[in-house]
């Protein structure tokens, strides 16, 4: 009964503790995942916006440079009639613009080439200036301009840089294309020059596309995250695919991805690439391209998994500590509840609990005994209650030493003790106890003797019948002169 009660208490505490830890742990994990997820999205978004700012700086720098050059070209061409009819005037004008172009190109990040070309219908077909950066020393050197008469105006592959902005009558970004004249992929920004409604030519700059590719390739996020560029439905830069690969040959149609391609703002979402779930942030660049920065979801939530593991470990450790503390507290409480405070021996309640629990295990070879101190009132009256307490403590010590650990013994109340002992050894062991009590001399309470009553077990006997029989046997011991063992 005691053990059952103890187990119920432990189980109740543990269940309550487990429920509390599970609730707190679950909330902590969900909150941590939410915070880390938000932080991951913010990280991707900020990285995307910072990278876009850097790329847009390059793009806008070129736009400003070309716009300045266009304004200078219009301001410098003071006589359109001479320009149309005098090669010398065109050459002087070209020389004037060449110096300005070189200064602007040297101060424009990523600029690979700068040029001013004149309309072949009003000037020589090779007229103008074409300055290309020398990769060895970084200086811009004059190169022979392309002879526009050698190509049809519709040949965008070779002369699209000239005719596309003229046809559209506006500044144009020419996205990555291979300039067949110098066999280099580039991005160009070109502005047509109009004076009094007459097209004089174009002025523009080229960025070596490798400059942009390198910027994209150098972007990393988390362990294996990376960046890529798109334009409309084409890939402009990706670590795994060449320029102008169809997006949908690589990425299946996905709501988040399609939304990003159609949006002009910053968009976040998820997609699957080569069987790996990824999160991304994208934004539109000033030249119309889209920048994507992506990372595997597994890497993004690595911190979340680590934090989850830490929370689980803390929860497990906390649970184990509570189990140990509960065990200690319960054992302490039960020990206090089950032990007689004065003698340190089991008390009446504990004896009854154990007896009821083990009753079926007792067979005919067991007996129940009751014993008390003879004339205990006289000891208290003569030597005082404190010394009476010492007498009880001394008797408890002798009981433990004589009976051994195999005998269930408890203080029944006052100076009376109760126990269960094998009936075959009861008389011998109890008489030995009587003798040891008699031999105790020079104690603060003088000397003492005890009397014992024993009732053997018989099948079907109740605890009340056992105690009644032991009590009657004890009475007989007292009636016969005390200091005796009587067995029924």
Instruction: Output the pLDDT for position 132.
Output: 92
Beta pairing class for 485-487 and 450-456: parallel
Question: Is residue 92 very low, low, confident or very high in pLDDT (cuts 50, 70, 90)?
Answer: very high
Instruction: Output the pLDDT for position 39.
Output: 67
Q: How far apart are CA 394 and CA 447, in angstroms?
A: 11
Instruction: Output the pLDDT for position 424.
Output: 87
DSSP labels for 388-449? Answer: HHHHHHHHHHHHHHHH-TTSEEEEEETTEEEEEEEHHHHHHHHHHHHHHHHH--SBTTB---
Instruction: Output the pLDDT for position 4.
Output: 58
Burial label, 264 (beta-carbon count in 10 A; 0-12, 13-18, 19+): exposed
From 144-153, 366-375, 382-391, 437-446, the region with the lowest mean pLDDT: 437-446
Q: How far apart are CA 464 and CA 462, in angstroms?
A: 5
Instruction: Output the pLDDT for position 378.
Output: 92
Does 346 have pLDDT greater than 70? yes
Question: Is residue 1 very low, low, confident or very high in pLDDT (cuts 50, 70, 90)?
Answer: very low
Q: Please compute, for residue 236, the number of CA atoms within 13 A of its CA located in the half-sphere on the CB side.
A: 27
- Measured from the Cβ of residue 401, the count of other Cβ atoms closer than 10 Å reads 11
Bridge partners of 184, per DSSP, are 179
Q: Please provide the average confidence, as pLDDT, over all residues in the chain.
A: 86
Question: Which pLDDT tens digit goes with each residue over 240-252?
Answer: 998 889 888 887 6
* % of the chain surpassing 70 pLDDT: 89
| Mean pLDDT score, 394-408 | 88
Instruction: Output the pLDDT for position 297.
Output: 81
Does 102 have pLDDT greater than 50? yes
Q: Which two tokens stand for residue 310?
A: 């830490």
Q: How far apart are CA 209 and CA 199, in angstroms?
A: 29
Q: How far apart are CA 330 and CA 8, in angstroms?
A: 11
| Mean pLDDT score, 171-194 | 84
Q: How far apart are CA 488 and CA 481, in angstroms?
A: 18
**Taking CA 137 as the corner, what is the angle to CA 56 and CA 212, rounded to the nearest 5 degrees?**
25
Domains of the chain: 77-211 (3.30.450.20), 348-487 (3.30.70.270)
| Mean pLDDT score, 217-225 | 88
Burial 429-466 (b: 16+ CB within 10 A, else e): bbeebbeebeebeeeebeebebbbbbbbbeeeeeeeeb
Q: Which two tokens stand for residue 329?
A: 């507290």
Q: Which residues fall within 8 angstroms of residue 51, CB to CB, at 6 or more apart?
A: 215, 219, 227, 291, 293
From 191-205, 345-359, 408-422, the region with the lowest mean pLDDT: 345-359
* % of the chain surpassing 90 pLDDT: 45
From 138-152, 383-397, 472-486, the region with the lowest mean pLDDT: 472-486
Question: Which pLDDT tens digit goes with each residue over 18-77?
Answer: 677 777 767 666 666 666 656 667 888 888 888 899 889 888 999 999 999 999 999 999
- Rounded to a whole number of angstroms, the CA Rg of the chain reads 51
Does 13 have pLDDT greater than 90? no
Measured in whole angstroms, how far is the alpha carbon of residue 322 from the centre of its chain?
25
Identify whether the C-beta of residue 483 lies closer than 8 Å to the C-beta of residue 449.
yes
How would you classify residue 191: left for phi > 0, otherwise alpha for psi between -120 and 50, otherwise beta? beta
Identify whether the C-beta of residue 279 lies closer than 8 Å to the C-beta of residue 269.
yes
Identify whether the C-beta of residue 305 lies closer than 8 Å to the C-beta of residue 36.
no
Q: Which residues fall within 8 angstroms of residue 264, CB to CB, at 6 or more apart?
A: 284
Q: Which residues fall within 8 angstroms of residue 487, CB to CB, at 6 or more apart?
A: 367, 423, 426, 427, 454, 455, 456, 473
Q: Which two tokens stand for residue 227?
A: 């960046």
Instruction: Output the pLDDT for position 392.
Output: 94
Question: Which pLDDT tens digit goes with each residue over 275-333?
Answer: 888 889 999 998 889 999 998 888 877 766 677 777 778 878 877 887 787 777 666 66
Q: What three-state secondary structure class fits 195?
A: strand
Question: Is residue 465 very low, low, confident or very high in pLDDT (cuts 50, 70, 90)?
Answer: very high
Which residue matches tokens 């968009």? 267
Does 147 have pLDDT greater than 90? yes
Instruction: Output the pLDDT for position 123.
Output: 93
Instruction: Output the pLDDT for position 333.
Output: 62
| Mean pLDDT score, 403-412 | 88
Burial label, 81 (beta-carbon count in 10 A; 0-12, 13-18, 19+): exposed
């Amino acid at each position: 009964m005691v053990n059952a009660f103890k187990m119920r208490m432990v189980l109740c505490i543990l269940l309550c503790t487990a429920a509390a830890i599970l609730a707190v742990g679950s909330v902590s994990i969900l909150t941590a995942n939410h915070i880390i997820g938000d932080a991951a999205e913010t990280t991707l978004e900020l990285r995307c916006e910072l990278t876009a700012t850097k790329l847009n700086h390059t793009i806008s720098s070129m736009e400003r440079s070309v716009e300045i050059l266009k304004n200078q070209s219009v301001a410098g061409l003071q006589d359109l009639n001479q320009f149309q009819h005098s090669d010398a005037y065109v050459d002087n004008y070209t020389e004037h613009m060449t110096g300005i172009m070189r200064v602007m190109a040297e101060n424009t990040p990523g600029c690979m080439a700068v040029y001013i070309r004149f309309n072949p219908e009003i000037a020589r077909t090779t007229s103008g200036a074409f300055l290309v950066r020398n990769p060895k020393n970084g200086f811009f050197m004059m190169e022979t301009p392309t002879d526009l008469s050698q190509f049809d105006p519709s040949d965008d592959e070779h002369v699209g840089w000239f005719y596309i902005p003229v046809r559209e009558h506006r500044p144009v970004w020419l996205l990555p294309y291979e300039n067949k004249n110098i066999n280099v992929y580039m991005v160009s920004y070109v502005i047509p020059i109009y004076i009094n409604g007459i097209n004089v030519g174009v002025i523009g700059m080229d960025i070596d596309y490798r400059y942009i590719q390198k910027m994209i390739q150098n972007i990393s996020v988390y362990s294996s995250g990376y960046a890529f560029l798109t334009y409309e439905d084409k890939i402009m830069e990706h670590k795994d695919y060449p320029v102008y690969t169809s997006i949908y040959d690589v990425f299946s149609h996905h709501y988040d991805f399609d939304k990003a391609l159609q949006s002009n703002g910053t968009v976040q979402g998820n997609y699957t690439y080569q069987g790996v779930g990824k999160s991304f942030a994208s934004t539109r660049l000033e030249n119309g391209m889209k920048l994507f920065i992506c990372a595997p979801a597994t890497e993004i939530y690595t911190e979340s998994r680590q934090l989850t593991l830490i929370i689980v470990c803390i929860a497990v450790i906390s649970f184990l500590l509570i189990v140990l503390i509960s065990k200690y507290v319960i054992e302490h409480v039960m020990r206090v509840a089950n032990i007689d405070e004065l003698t340190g021996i089991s008390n009446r309640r504990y004896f009854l609990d154990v007896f009821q629990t083990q009753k079926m295990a007792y067979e005919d070879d067991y007996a129940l005994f009751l014993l008390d101190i003879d004339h205990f009132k006289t000891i208290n009256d003569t030597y005082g209650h404190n010394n009476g307490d010492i007498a009880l403590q001394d008797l408890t010590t002798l009981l433990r030493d004589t009976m051994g650990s195999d005998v269930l013994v408890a203080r029944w109340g006052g100076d009376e003790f109760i126990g269960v002992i094998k009936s075959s050894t009861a008389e011998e062991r109890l008489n030995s106890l009587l003798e040891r009590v008699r031999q105790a001399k020079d104690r603060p309470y003088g000397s003492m003797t005890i009397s014992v009553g024993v009732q053997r077990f018989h099948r079907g006997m109740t605890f009340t019948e056992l105690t009644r029989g032991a009590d009657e046997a004890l009475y007989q011991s007292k009636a016969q002169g005390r200091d005796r063992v009587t067995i029924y």
